[in-house]
Amino acid sequence: MTKLGSKHWVEITDLTDKGDGVGTLLGRPLFVEGALPGDEVEVKLTQIKPNYLHGLIGQIGTPAAERVDDFCAHQACGGCQVRTLSYQGQLAHKQQLVQREMQRFGLNCEVKPVLGMAEPFAWRNKAQFAVRQIDGGAEIGFYRKHSHQLVACDDCAVQDPLHIELLARLRQWLQQHDVRAYDEHNHSGDLRHVVTRKGFATGEVMLVLVTRTEVLPAQAELLAQLADLNLTTIVHNVHGERGNRVMGLDNRVLTGNGVIRDTLDGLDFIISPLSFYQVNPSQTEVLYKQALQLAELTGNETVYDLYCGIGTISLFLARHASKVIGIELIPEAIADAEENAKANGLSNTEFHVGRAEVLVPELYQQGVSADVVVVDPPRKGCDQALLQTLTAMAPKTLVYVSCNPKTLARDLAWLTANGFSLEQLQPVDMFPHTLHVEAVAQLRWQG
């Protein structure tokens, strides 16, 4: 009988982009959190809709060949979606995911095997912890999957081990001084988030405390409690607005100079609280070296680096190009990019603040063109105005770095229909144990 609470044995054949297993029951897709392709599982129905079903996993009759033991004690956390899929299984699935999107848009380019990590743990150099009320007191952790319910975490296998001691000190401070956690519903309380950033090559550590209020409660006591941890800088970020954005724009330096430094492939980078910087430093080098290789620079080219952030790709390129022009929306990131260029002795860079889809057409109208263009857009992909300008500019090589296979395939399909040929496509695993995957595509202008 098919009703809520009824149990059924189902074979799982696929994964959603959120990491839920997909099977078929009653001719409808059945979504099961925690199930993997190849599992035969008993499922208890929790939702019955005309076009789909949801269920909870029960017994696993026949486990998938790539199923492994869960490495995490915080199983309710929504961070690592596919912890029980072997790492090789994750890489194979991500390759299939990219291939599937390419095929959906009629692109026949070979998708190369995903470049993964030798050791896919403790890889994150940035952590964002929410602070919320649990059982009458302030607690620190991550959100449950598909919710804003807090899961208290003492440690995390993909974060740096420094968080164990740091979180213990922060919890002690919260409890001893009755610091109020942020209440999203009532927009009340003090502490909203705790953000950490670490330079893996330098060991420098930044702690950012995000409050709704102008005042950080028990600030002197907190600084005393953390003094022996040798944090490079501590920043108080004021974020008084409603919404899901983690940090506001007002940064107040409490100790240090408000930035940390890291090194990638011999280049030094300054990182401020609001700067975008890839969270997996070892794989960032892999990703950017792929972008550099596919740019095929000879030393004579003018290069556009669009959505350049703090200039990481820009500087990788500048060592092998005549000139690099970087464009980024966030002023603080451009300020960091300019400082990073100076710190590395690279005078052949030029940075502009603004939207790529606005600035690139303007610069092109002024006669500023490029031989090679590198784009690394947000998940939504490139704006149509930018794509149209790129086809008018007709650079000999276009390198597209993407964090979203769906929008990557959409944009590649448009570009290949308007003068470019797709030559290579290389995925890189920046986020082990999740279903996120980066990819670098090389296109050449055919006219």
Q: What does the pLDDT average to over 364-375?
A: 96
Asked if residue 435 and residue 398 are part of one domain, the reply reads yes
Average pLDDT over residues 422-439: 97
- Ordered strands of the 191-198 beta sheet: 150-152, 137-143, 126-134, 191-198, 205-211, 233-238, 250-255
- The active-site residue out of 77, 109, 153, 403 is 403
| pLDDT of 206 | 97
Let me know whether 244 and 168 are in one domain: yes
282 φ/ψ sector (left φ>0, alpha ψ -120 to 50, else beta) = alpha
pLDDT tier at 362 (50, 70, 90 boundaries)? very high
**pLDDT, average across residues 210-238:** 96
Total number of domains constituting the chain? 3
Q: Residue 328 and residue 59: Cα distance in Å, rounded? A: 50
- State residue 213 phi and psi, 5-degree precision: -95, 160
Cα 346 to Cα 66, 201, 236, 307, 328: the distances in Å are: 47, 21, 32, 19, 18
Q: Are residues 210 and 354 in the same domain?
A: no
Q: Give the Cα separation of 444 and 129 in Å (integer).
A: 42
| Dist CA 297 CA 292 (whole Å) | 8
Are residues 16 and 106 located together in one domain of the fold?
no
SS3 197: strand
CATH code at 434? 3.40.50.150
3-state secondary structure (DSSP) of residue 134? strand
Mean pLDDT over 110-139 rounds to 93
How open is the CA angle 320-324-330, to the nearest 5 degrees?
135
Let me know if 80 is a catalytic residue: no
* pLDDT for the residue numbered 276: 83
Residues 98 and 147 in one domain: no
3-state secondary structure (DSSP) of residue 2:
coil
Please tell me whether residues 186 and 335 are part of one structural domain: no
Q: Which of 46, 62, 78 is the last residue of a domain?
A: 62
- For residue range 318-331, list pLDDT tens digits in order: 999 999 999 999 89
Evaluate whether residue 73 is within a structural domain. Answer: no
Q: Taking 90 as the threshold, does the pLDDT of residue 148 lie above it?
A: no
SS3 category, 392: helix
> Among residues 285, 289, 288, 317, which one has the least CA distance to residue 303?
317
3-state secondary structure of 116: coil
Within a domain: 346? yes
Do 39 and 169 belong together in one domain? Answer: no
Q: What are phi and psi of 408, to 5 degrees?
A: -60, -50
- Give the position of tokens 């929790």: 46
Domain presence at residue 71:
no
pLDDT value at residue 1: 60
Residue 7 bridge partners (DSSP): 44
Residues 212 and 244 in one domain: yes
Tell me what the mean pLDDT of segment 414-431 comes to: 97
Is residue 184 in some structural domain? yes
Q: What is the dihedral of CA 369, 374, 376, 381, to 10 degrees?
A: 60
Count how many Cα atoms sit within 13 Å of the Cα of residue 81 in the half-sphere of its side chain: 20
- 232 within a domain of the structure (yes/no): yes
Residue 398 lies in a domain: yes
Backbone angles phi, psi at 49, to 5 degrees: -125, 160
In this prediction, residue 293 carries a pLDDT of 97
Give yes or no: residues 348 and 200 share one domain: no
Look at residues 264, 292, 323 and tell me which one is the last residue of a structural domain. Answer: 264
Q: What share of the chain is helix, strand, coil (3-state, %, to 5)?
A: 25, 35, 45
Mean pLDDT of the chain: 94
The amino acid sitting at 325 is I
Shared domain check, 411 and 333: yes
The residue written with tokens 């950012």 in the block is 208
Instruction: Summarize the confidence of residues 162-179 as an average pLDDT.
Output: 92
Query: Are both 286 and 358 inside the same structural domain?
Result: yes
Residue 308 forms part of a structural domain: yes
- For residues 443 and 428, what is the distance between their CA atoms, to the nearest angstrom? 18
CATH of the domain at 145: 2.40.50.1070
What is the secondary structure of 221-258 as a DSSP string?
Answer: HHHHHHGGG--SEEEEEE--S-SS-S--SEEEEEETTS
The full length of the chain comes to 447
Whether residues 171 and 112 fall in one domain: no
DSSP annotation of 157 reads T
Selection from 257, 232, 364, 382 nearest residue 304 by Cα: 364
Q: Which domain holds residue 248?
A: 126-264
Which range has highest mean pLDDT (76-80, 148-152, 269-273)?
269-273
Tens-place pLDDT, residues 380-391:
999 999 999 999
What is the SS3 assignment for 306-365? ECCCCCHHHHHHHCCCCEEEEEECCHHHHHHHHHHHHHCCCCCEEEEECCHHHHHHHHHH
Residue 154 lies in a domain: yes
Is the pLDDT at 136 greater than 80, yes or no?
A: no
Average pLDDT over residues 210-216: 97
pLDDT in the model for residue 155: 83
Domain boundary among 15, 44, 62: 62
For residue 247, report the phi and psi dihedrals to the nearest 5 degrees: -120, 150
What's the CATH code of the domain at 36?
2.40.50.140
Report CA 153 to chain centroid distance, whole Å. 20
